[in-house]
Amino acid sequence: MKEEKELFSVGHRACAGCGEPIAVRAILNEAGPNTVAIVCTGCLEVVSTGWPETAWEVPLIHAAFENSASVASGIEVALRKLGKKDTNVIAFGGDGGTFDIGFQALSGMLERGHNVKYVCLDNEAYMNTGIQRCSSTPYGASTTTSPAGKYSIGEDRPKKPLAAICASHDIPYTATATIAYPEDLKKKVKTALETKGPCFLHVLVPCPTGWRFSSEKTVELAKLAVGTGVFVLWELRGSNFNNINITKKLKGRKPVTEYLKTQGRFRHLFRPEIKQDVIDKIQKDIDEKCKRFGVDL
Where along the sequence are the contacts to other proteins (CB under 8 A)?
33-36, 38, 45-46, 49-52, 54, 56-64, 66-67, 69-82, 84, 87, 104-105, 107-108, 111-112
Residue whose CB is less far from other proteins, 104 or 243: 104
At 200, is the secondary structure helix, strand, or coil?
strand
The distance of closest approach from Cβ of residue 7 to other proteins in the complex, given in angstroms and rounded to an integer, is 9
- CB 16 → other proteins: shortest distance, Å? 20
Nearest by Cα to 42 from 122, 134, 106, 127: 127
* Nearest approach, Cβ of residue 118 and other proteins (Å): 13
**For other proteins, the closer CB: 51 or 151:** 51
Closest approach of Cβ 2 to other proteins, in Å?
16
Q: Kind and range of the H or E element at 119?
A: strand 117-122
> 227 and 262 in contact (C-beta within 8 Å)?
no
Decide whether 77 or 250 has the Cβ nearer to other proteins: 77
Output 61 or 164, the one with its CB closest to other proteins.
61
For the CB of residue 63, give the shortest distance to other proteins in the complex, in Å. Answer: 5
- Are the beta carbons of 289 and 232 closer than 8 angstroms? yes
| Phi and psi based region of residue 280 (left: phi greater than 0; alpha: psi -120 to 50; beta: remaining) | alpha
Cβ of residue 200: shortest distance to other proteins, in angstroms?
16
Element spanning 174, H or E? strand 173-178
Helix (H, G, I), strand (E, B) or coil at 166: helix
Q: What's the CA dihedral at 212, 214, 215, 216 to 10 degrees?
A: -150
Give the chain's end-to-end CA distance (angstroms, integer): 31
Nearest to other proteins of 54, 214 (CB atom): 54
- What's the full length of the chain, in residues? 297
CB nearer other proteins, residue 82 or residue 297: 82
